Amino acid sequence: MKKFDLDLFKKITYIHFLTDYSSNDFPYPPLFVRDDFNEEKELRDYLKNIKKRFSEISGLNIYVHFPFCKYKCVFCRQFSFACQDFKLYDEYLELLIKELKMWVEAMKLKGKAKIRSIYLGGGTPTNFDLKKFFYKISEFIDLKSIEQIDIESTLDPLSNPKTLSFLKRLKLNQKSRLVMGAQSFNEEVLKACNRYPYQKRIFREVMKNIKKNKIPVVGIDLMAGLPLQTEESLIKDVKFIINEKVEAIHLYVFCKNPLTPLWNKNKKTSQKEREMVKETYGLARRIIESNDYPFTGGEWILRRDKKFLNYQQVFIGSPFEEKEDPFNISIGPSAGGRLPFYSDDKFCADIRNVSDLNIYKQKILNQNFAIEKIWKFKDETELKRKGLVRIMRYSFLDKRPYIKKYGADPEKDFPQEFEFLEKTLTRLGKFERKRDVINFKNNLGGHLILSKVFYSPEVLKRCKKVIEEKYKNLDFDLSFLPHNEDFFIKKHEKI
């Protein structure tokens, strides 16, 4: 078996948390080694070639990133800013619409573009004038063709009956899923997070407005490991949501990492905190699943919800869900998407917009796309690696989607990688097989590092070079992760 460098895996993990706003799971390859996008030369070729391919695309997903919130929560690592200047909200809404229109015009489709799904994230999209947003994009997008609209929101703007009423007037309400970022209902926890503390008080009023506007599917985001949170308070929140018969539950583990405001206050996470988060998260999962909420990839959904695309298909865009990889356009600063074909050669490309509000504004006003980073996947093996890395964010690896798509067992495609995983995790007592599922037994944090076992030798070499040139003086301290401490603290030989 070839050697794998765990120290390099840890360094890649740390720099990802330091540089990438996208999420707590891992893209492949990481953003910090992707190519800069040369707008002046490459954009012309890029548009020329993708125009040839748009007619072949069966599904088009759009993610729109709304970059402002009224307040910045201390746990948030997303590209968003506290802003209560609603002139800026209006200004950026116009920029988002303009960017989306540029993409639709680049497709050169006859009539209005047919879109599979739209996901509005942020930030807090419901603080923007979404009525104006949908009316304006309806000029160049066929809203009737949309299968699903997902809208993120905090609870407080939803207490206004007018916030969602436009969906009913546009006859989009039955296609909409609302994802409410509650995170907690405990007042002390919410205050510690710089959030509106009385969420439980307004929740039932919010639910009345949702029912009034006939939004059929509602999801709730909850976090484990927040400041001042206890096992009792999280379990109480979980049971409250279950009793309210909310259709979807997203349960996350909070990572106090370098892009969160909380990082500057206290970088360390104690062993006691880690153990509490790990045990509480595991208990919360068991309670959710025992109440008829099966895990569907990114969320737990009540069994009666069968009509909607799940969170995995729409927002995450799993490379194993579709027969063909979906085409994802991402609008807004820091947003990332996927193009199925970059040129006449058949391969797909991941792209990422600039992470600077002023640069984004200037690019869009100058009729330039805001693309800053790109990575081209030139063969199927690389796409397989990308899919396996993404799957591992759940602390278990379900081989069935891979087998369904590629007609092969991934352990046979990547024998040395799986041998390494089994040997390493077995030694830690964190490896368990259940048919086609490999369970890492709640090894929170550890699976994120071990996901890099699926990086290609070329990508690992590139990561190592960039780290040695740009980040060699960093203190690669991963003690903030809610992980199994032995895995990170003890010295492990290269296997």
The two structure tokens encoding residue 98: 């303009």
pLDDT score of 315: 44
What are the C-alpha distances in Å from 220 to residues 75, 213, 237, 248, 362?
17, 18, 11, 6, 36
| pLDDT at residue 357, rounded to an integer | 96
Give the pLDDT score at 405.
Answer: 84
- Please give the domain boundaries of the chain with CATH numbers for all domains: 6-35+341-489 (no CATH), 54-316 (3.80.30.20)
pLDDT of 317: 44
The whole-number mean pLDDT for each consecutive block of 10 residues of the chain, a chain of 495 residues, reads: 86 90 78 83 63 62 94 92 95 97 77 84 95 95 89 93 92 91 96 92 92 90 92 95 91 84 74 80 91 80 60 46 63 88 66 94 93 87 89 80 89 95 84 86 75 94 96 83 54 43
Helices (runs of H) and strands (runs of E) counted in the chain: 18, 19
Q: Which pLDDT score, from 0 to 100, does residue 70 have?
A: 93
Amino acid present at 145: S
**Burial category of 236 from C-beta neighbours within 10 Å (exposed 0-12, middle 13-18, buried 19 and up):** middle
Cα separation, 439 vs 434, whole angstroms: 7
Q: Which residues of 311-336 are buried (b: 16+ CB within 10 A; e: fewer)?
A: bbbbbbbbbbbeeebbbbbbbbbbbb
pTM: 0.90
- The residue type at 351: I
Residues, the chain: 495
> In this predicted structure, what is the pLDDT of residue 22?
74
Residues whose CB is less than 8 angstroms from the CB of residue 429 and which lie 6 or more positions away in sequence, other chains included: 441
**Is the CB of residue 88 less than 8 Å from the CB of residue 239?**
no
How far is Cα of residue 357 from the mean position of the Cα atoms in its chain? 20
Paired tokens of 45: 């070729």
- Residues 23, 288 contacting (CB under 8 angstroms): no
DSSP tag of 155: S
**pLDDT for position 337:** 86
pLDDT at residue 25, rounded to an integer: 64
Rounded Cα distance between 196 and 205, Å, is: 15
Contact 466, 33 (CB under 8 A): yes
Identify the H or E element spanning 438: strand 437-439
Which pLDDT belongs to residue 271?
73
